[in-house]
Amino acid sequence: MVAQLDPSYRQLGAGRVIRRVASWALFEGRPHTTRGQWANPAIFALLKTLNAIPGQPRVDRPVFVVGLGRSGTTILGKILSAHEDVAFLNEPKAIWSLVDPATDICGDYVDAGGRFILDASDADESKIKTAHRLFGRYLRLIGSSRLVDKYPELVFRLDFVRAIFPDAKFVFITRNGLDACQSISNWSVRKGSGSEDQLEDWWGRDNIKWNYLCDELVRSNTRYQELASLDLTSLSSVDRAALEWSITTEMGMDQFDCNPGDITLIKFEDLVQTPDSSIRKLLEDCDLGISEQVLEYARAVLTPAPDYPPVELAPAVRVHFERVMKRAGY
């Protein structure tokens, strides 16, 4: 679906549609699991040109949608993009790779050196300037005043983002782990391509994302120390997804417990069941005015996801999965 445009989104009017298509076509970049990667050189040329223009725009109260992919992050970003003040970027990894190449953990644009975790010490003046120039000039060209950036993995980099955008707002969305991990596994089968020797799927080019995750988030984390002795490369796709869900959800909840002032925590299930109250609170938390168009679009597109059956997980993975499910209220 081009630019994630569904029939209900088209009903928002030509202005919203043009803004969304321009964001997708000119700024987001094409990751390894999507078509149209031939456009990346032109997209990067535009971004580098915007960064080279003298001057220093500033981005006001950007909103970042974070969590685990396949947990409602995209639909939530699209709902917010129905707001008249908002321009929405769906995983603008091309922009972030120019801010800091280490953000590219899937090997979309950078072949090595990726990191899940970046903190405030990684945000030097050059990176701060680049981020404001790229996102600020994107907003100016699109004709919007507020940025919504859906990039799930930023949940591991909130201090890095805060150092760049001190007034940033974050929306951390969770989803029942049973549904999320099976959705990831199914997506990877559906979208993956290549051979066993050179596979491109949810886990990045040739498992680069999975390798980063194991090295940085499992083997170096005392919470998951006993998993380090396992042959992590042999885990099934569902086990991998369950482990990523556990680590990501726990990181988001840790961040919320420590910094509740700038993070809104929302469950995908609550968003679907009570869209009006959930969206109204979200708009207020993000300093966005209540918009009837946003509410109408949310009512039109939010439908319950299918329930997935229980899954068999490796015992060591299941221990952490069940612990985090309980902590998250599932």
Residues 206-251 pLDDT 10s: 889 999 999 999 998 889 888 888 889 889 889 999 999 999 999 9
**For residues 29 and 264, what is the distance between their CA atoms, to the nearest angstrom?**
27
**For residues 180 and 255, what is the distance between their CA atoms, to the nearest angstrom?**
20
* Residue 61 belongs to domain spanning: 2-178+262-303
In the predicted structure, residue 188 carries a pLDDT above the cut 70: no
Determine the pLDDT at residue 293: 95
Alpha-carbon 93 to chain mean position: 10
**For residues 130 and 51, what is the distance between their CA atoms, to the nearest angstrom?**
6
In a domain, 221, yes or no: no
What is residue 214's DSSP assignment?
I
pLDDT-based confidence at residue 200 (cuts at 50, 70, 90): low
**For residues 240 and 67, what is the distance between their CA atoms, to the nearest angstrom?**
16
For 162-196, the DSSP string reads HHH-TT-EEEEEE--HHHHHHHHHHHHHHH-EEET
Burial class (CB in 10 A: 0-12, 13-18, 19+), 3: middle
In a domain, 320, yes or no: no
* 266: CATH: 3.40.50
For 86-144, the DSSP string reads EEEEE--HHHHHHH-GGG--S-SS-SS---S---GGG--HHHHHHHHHHHHHHHHHHT-
In a domain, 132, yes or no: yes
Residues 95-138 pLDDT 10s: 999 999 999 999 999 999 999 999 999 999 999 999 999 999 99
In a domain, 157, yes or no: yes
Residues 56-93 pLDDT 10s: 999 999 999 999 998 999 999 999 999 999 999 999 99
In a domain, 10, yes or no: yes
In a domain, 226, yes or no: no
Tally of domains within the chain: 1
Burial class (CB in 10 A: 0-12, 13-18, 19+), 181: buried
Residues 260-269 pLDDT 10s: 889 999 999 9
In a domain, 218, yes or no: no
In the predicted structure, residue 186 carries a pLDDT above the cut 90: no
**For residues 303 and 49, what is the distance between their CA atoms, to the nearest angstrom?**
41
Model pTM score: 0.94
pLDDT-based confidence at residue 190 (cuts at 50, 70, 90): low
In a domain, 64, yes or no: yes
